[in-house]
Structure 1
Amino acid sequence: MTGFLTHLEEEIKRLYAKLQISGPAYRDMQRIASEFHVWVHYEDTGSMMIKHQGLYSIILNRSLSSEEQWQDFAHELCHVLKHAGNHFKMHKLFRELQEFQAKQFMYHFFCADLYADANEASKPSAASHFAHCANISRHLGFR
């Protein structure tokens, strides 16, 4: 490894320090949401973030697995922390940029404390082990 972190990695590292998260076992969706004054709801709809009268809510699809809900939570948390504006009123390219940023945030949110040695990442079981430790789907672990 080169010994430097990207801006996003540094940002998530600071976020983990603020939340006193030192590993996957210390990640608690409700506690994280509470720290940012965000309500989490489970509905029969696609996952999304809503801001109404200055209050934030993250709606998670209740039919998803807990791992998929975690992934959606991290994605939507990025929108809460970093984005502004109404998706329905913004230009398509700006909306795509925000979605790309939220996706990258989600990936790094799960990896911040789990960056593996480059040699470890090449092992066939590394993705499965990473997915299990990070409480994410195996499919995401391979990405």
Structure 2
Amino acid sequence: MYYSDVEKFVEAIYKQLGIQDPEELSISAIAEALNIEIIYSESISMRVDHFIVLPRSPLENRWQIFGHELCHYFFHEGDQRFMHSLFVDLQEHQADYFAYHFCIPTFMLQQLHVHSVNDILQHFPVEFAFALHRLEMYQNKHFTLYEKPVYYLAV
């Protein structure tokens, strides 16, 4: 299977941290290994320098938000309050996409031979809608690899 740059990055991070299986996924262990301090809040989430603020919410929600905020940590600079709204939208879209791959890594899906939402929920601490969307992403990518290419004539 062809891996996107995000999938390659996520796999490299996990391998660098010595994480190979879903049972090893832990916010505190990953944050400690990356030298990130986690702060818990009643309702907000954000990343500031080497701090990630997570809401006091169920683990599934916190895990998904942690993945989202890690994208900002790894790839984004600046204060969104002073950015054009289109740039903020781009960063948020990138962070959402990254979170799907960080919270449910492709290389782990392949190892587990995942075929259903329940398979994902059994192994990863995510919400049903998140698992469903990630499964669709995974299946769509896998399916398109086996489709015949369509060629268009340049006009």
TM-score band (shorter)? 0.7 to 0.9
Which structure has more strand as a fraction of its residues?
1
Alignment deviations for residues 5-34 of structure 1 (CA, whole Å, 9 cap, x no partner): 111111111111111110111112111111
How far does residue 65 in structure 1 lie from its aligned partner after superposition?
0.7
Q: Name the one with the larger helix percent.
A: 2
Which residue in the other structure is 1:75 paired with? 68
SS in structure 2 of the partner of residue 10 of structure 1: helix
Q: Are 2:56 and 1:58 equivalent residues in the alignment?
A: no
Check whether the contact 1:12–1:108 (CA below 8 A) recurs between aligned residues.
yes
Q: Tell me the TM-score normalised to structure 2 length.
A: 0.78
Query: Runs (4+) of structure 1 moved beyond 4 Å?
Result: none
Q: Matched residues, percent identical? A: 28
CA distance in structure 1 between the partners assigned to 2:21 and 2:98 by the alignment: 17
Number of the residue aligned with 2:140: none
Conservation of the 8 A alpha-carbon contact between 1:131 and 1:140: no
Mapped contact 1:60–1:72 kept (Cα < 8 A): yes
Question: Where does 1:35-54 land on structure 2 (aligned, <5 Å)?
Answer: 35-51=33-49
Paired amino acid for 2:102:
F
The size of the alignment, in residue pairs, is: 131
- C-alpha distance in structure 1 between counterparts of 2:114 and 2:12, whole Å: 25
Pairing 1:105–2:103 present:
no
The offset of 1:85, in angstroms, is 0.5
Letter of the structure 1 residue corresponding to residue 101 of structure 2: H
AA aligned opposite 2:109: Y
Shift of 1:116: 4.7
2:3 is aligned to 5
Counterpart CA distance in 1 for 2:64 and 2:118 is 16
- Deviation of 1:137 (Å): 1.0
TM-score of the two chains, using structure 1 as the length reference:
0.84
**16, 19, 22: which one aligns with 2:17:** 19
